[in-house]
Structure 1
């Protein structure tokens, strides 16, 4: 069985201007806004369920000193990983797809770092009780039923 390799052309790689654009975008003030949190991230050969960790942190009433310390260690590890991705973006010969993937991975890591720092500082907490959240979900469901009914009348 013969494996067909795709022949890449010079145009398939990012230009110096595109590289600079990606790097400058990563340094924008709110680059992480709108980036989804990674579900998992591999750090030092260990897979960390990052999204789940941040979710638990938000729902926890208070973090112990040891938990805060572990969060800040994870922040340092993620910062190292993000800097490595940025260096690859700065120096490597990358295709457009590879550069986009690295850019979004770096932005998502920046978001995770910001969320973890806010969590450690106690700035992000779920403000409503379980009952308050359930009430909002019920309200949203009623609105959806209402809007579907209105939509059928005008169809």
Structure 2
């Protein structure tokens, strides 16, 4: 593959909205294991909530997909490795990266897992603010963290 073709393919990977209209691949090899990606994403997305036992599986899948995406992108970024690819192979690689991105978007948009995490973080921040307010209101701690009063 020529240098300008490599750069063109990398630009497609990074393009805003590259996943619009893209399909999630039926199968993909991730970390040496064939995964029925489309079926997995569809199965997870059709549920109203992700059961606690499935959350770990989804998080592990997202981690593995991110790792696989990075490895595939690095193949294109590495000039020596990309030189061994034909343009058609490079296009296939780009399509697989965009498919992985599409699957990751679908898995990221799962409402209950991210909403629950966000709610826990919000609750922790609220408690911290409330405790700080109480300490200041009761004169136990001022803005510098020292004991108040005298």
Common fold by TM > 0.5: yes
2:66 paired residue number: 79
Deviation at 1:121, TM superposition (A): 4.6
1:69 paired residue number: 56
1:131 paired residue number: none
Number of equivalences: 110
1:36 paired residue number: 23
Deviation at 1:25, TM superposition (A): 1.7
1:146 paired residue number: none
The structure having more radius of gyration, on CA atoms, is 2
Query: What's the TM-score once normalised by structure 1's chain length?
Result: 0.64
- How is 1:143-154 mapped onto 2 (pairs within 5 angstroms)? none
Deviation at 1:99, TM superposition (A): 0.8
Deviation at 1:30, TM superposition (A): 1.3
Query: What's the TM-score once normalised by structure 2's chain length?
Result: 0.66
Give the conservation status (yes or no) of the 8 Å contact 2:55–2:113.
Answer: no
1:25 alignment partner, one of 2, 9, 12: 12
Residues 44 and 15 of structure 1: is their aligned pair in 2 closer, same or farther, counting only changes over 3 Å?
closer
2:43 alignment partner, one of 56, 70, 73: 56
Instruction: Give structure 1 regions of 4+ aligned residues with deviation exceeding 4 angstroms.
Output: 120-123
Are positions 1:109 and 2:100 aligned together?
A: yes
Aligned to 1:32, what secondary structure does the other structure show? coil
Stretches of structure 2 that go unaligned for 5 or more consecutive residues are 115-150
Give the conservation status (yes or no) of the 8 Å contact 1:72–1:117.
Answer: no
Deviation at 1:19, TM superposition (A): 0.9
Deviation at 1:120, TM superposition (A): 5.9
1:100 paired residue number: 91
Stretches of structure 1 that go unaligned for 5 or more consecutive residues are 1-13, 124-155
